[in-house]
Amino acid sequence: MARKLTKLNKPASRSGIDWYASPEGRRQTQREFERALKQGTLVHSSGSKIPRSAPAALRKLLEQAKANATRPVSIRLPIADIERAKDIASETGSKYQTVLKKAIRFGLKRAG
């Protein structure tokens, strides 16, 4: 199978470092990485002495990164549940959002 490297479509008007550091650059880099990983075309540069990473190891790293990443959400909860979470938080010395996050994670593990 022939491997080919794809070039990122970065704008010519901005310097490379600035573009890659921008949210758009990070999203584009992530899309290109996932596409290359899926197609099996992820390679290292010829000048690098680092061996090619196994696709399974890269998939595992990607899953770990997704597990630790967060996204803000807005949900409606009964006031009683929020009050209970605040009571638990004051007993444990943590924030009520952390209590809710742990409860959701526990419920998801139990459900599936």
Q: Among 29, 26, 56, which residue's Cα sits nearest to residue 40?
A: 56
How many CB atoms sit inside 10 A of residue 33's CB? Answer: 13
Give, in degrees to the nearest 5, the angle at Cα 75 between 69 and 78: 130
pLDDT tens for residues 7-49?
555 555 556 677 777 888 888 888 888 888 888 777 656 666 6
pLDDT tens-digit profile of 75-102? Answer: 999 999 999 999 999 999 999 999 999 9
Rounded alpha-carbon distances, angstroms, from residue 110 to 36, 69, 97, 107: 34, 21, 20, 5
Output the pLDDT for position 4: 54
56 Cβ partners below 8 Å, 6+ apart? none
pTM, two decimals, is 0.45
Task: Spell out the domain ranges in the chain.
Answer: 16-45+52-68, 79-111
